[in-house]
Amino acid sequence: MEKLNKLNKIFNKIYYNLFIENFKGKIQNNFPENYYRWDLIKYLIKKNGYKDYLEIGCDQNQLFSKVKIDNKIGVDPVSGGNIRKTSDAFFSSNKDKFDIIFIDGLHTYVQVKKDIINSVKCLKENGIILVHDCMPDSLAKQAVPRFKMKWNGDVWKAIVDLRQNEELDIYTCEIDEGIGIIKKSKNSDILKLNKSINSLKFKDYFNNYRNYLRVIDINEFKEKF
């Protein structure tokens, strides 16, 4: 995981609060304490007979080592997984197709959107894309540039942006920092935004996140998927 030095943190915090946003609201996310990303993945593999798994961003294999499946590829430029590359470098030469893709690399809007679009291109029919860290509870946890160790980044913006895409059907499951659920099928609930994506602030997220992300709980998830 990226190390942040103290001076960097202080500088980024002051910069963010002065020039980008300073908003104190805090969200009480309702993440269950006994259901995590590996449980969701295990459920999907069993239910759909999935064989091929791709994870973008593996860190210390906290998740990668728990995924039991026939074939798994883990991409990370620094540690974990089994391919030492950035996601961009991996996707630029990849010819394989996957049933289930877990995106958890660099947590910025631009990179996550790119990772999702590249994942859609190598997703098998009936496959699913999962995106970690979609539900930050505070401005600090989603600020880019980063100034907090526990960091979701602005992954949420990639979900909000693609909720407007007609060809992707997207929900967000309220577990484990918020997991985006993306299927390659007609969008059954196109998000209508009244602002441009680049002008969205955390305050907008705070006031609208259930609608923006189309939040469902784990029971609703299991009814749908």
Ligand X SMILES: C[S@@+](CC[C@H](N)C(=O)[O-])C[C@H]1O[C@@H](n2cnc3c(N)ncnc32)[C@H](O)[C@@H]1O
- Please count the residues of this chain forming the interface with ligand X, following the rule CB under 6 A: 20
In whole angstroms, what is the distance from residue 87 CA to residue 106 CA? 9
Tokens coding 138: 């505070």
**Contact flag: residue 153 with ligand X (CB under 6 A):** no
Of 151 and 205, the one with the shorter C-beta distance to ligand X is 151
Q: Choose which of 45, 56, 112, 123 interacts with ligand X (CB under 6 A).
A: 56
**Contact flag: residue 131 with ligand X (CB under 6 A):** no
Sketch the per residue contact string, 9 through 48, with ligand X: x for CB under 6 A, - otherwise.
----------------------------x-----------
* Full DSSP string of 62-76: TTGGG---SEEEEE-
Q: Which stretch binds ligand X (CB under 6 A): 75-83, 161-169, 187-195, 213-221?
A: 75-83
**Contact flag: residue 57 with ligand X (CB under 6 A):** yes
3-state SS assignment for residue 94: coil
In whole angstroms, what is the distance from residue 130 CA to residue 182 CA? 6
Rg (alpha carbons) of the chain, rounded to whole number: 17
3-state SS assignment for residue 173: strand
Q: Choose which of 8, 30, 71, 79 interacts with ligand X (CB under 6 A).
A: 79
Q: Choose which of 40, 75, 175, 182 interacts with ligand X (CB under 6 A).
A: 75
104: Cβ–Cβ under 8 A, 6 or more apart, which residues? 55, 56, 57, 58, 63, 131, 132, 133
Q: Which stretch binds ligand X (CB under 6 A): 15-23, 78-86, 120-128, 159-167?
A: 78-86
3-state SS assignment for residue 6: helix
Tokens coding 9: 């943190």
Element (H, E) at 41: helix 37-48
Of 55 and 161, the one with the shorter C-beta distance to ligand X is 55
CB of 55 to ligand X, least distance (A): 6
Burial class (CB in 10 A: 0-12, 13-18, 19+), 123: buried
Q: Choose which of 17, 27, 69, 77 interacts with ligand X (CB under 6 A).
A: 77
**Contact flag: residue 145 with ligand X (CB under 6 A):** no
**Contact flag: residue 101 with ligand X (CB under 6 A):** no
Tokens coding 140: 């600090």
Residues near ligand X (CB under 6 A): 1, 37, 55-59, 62-63, 75-79, 86-87, 104-106, 111
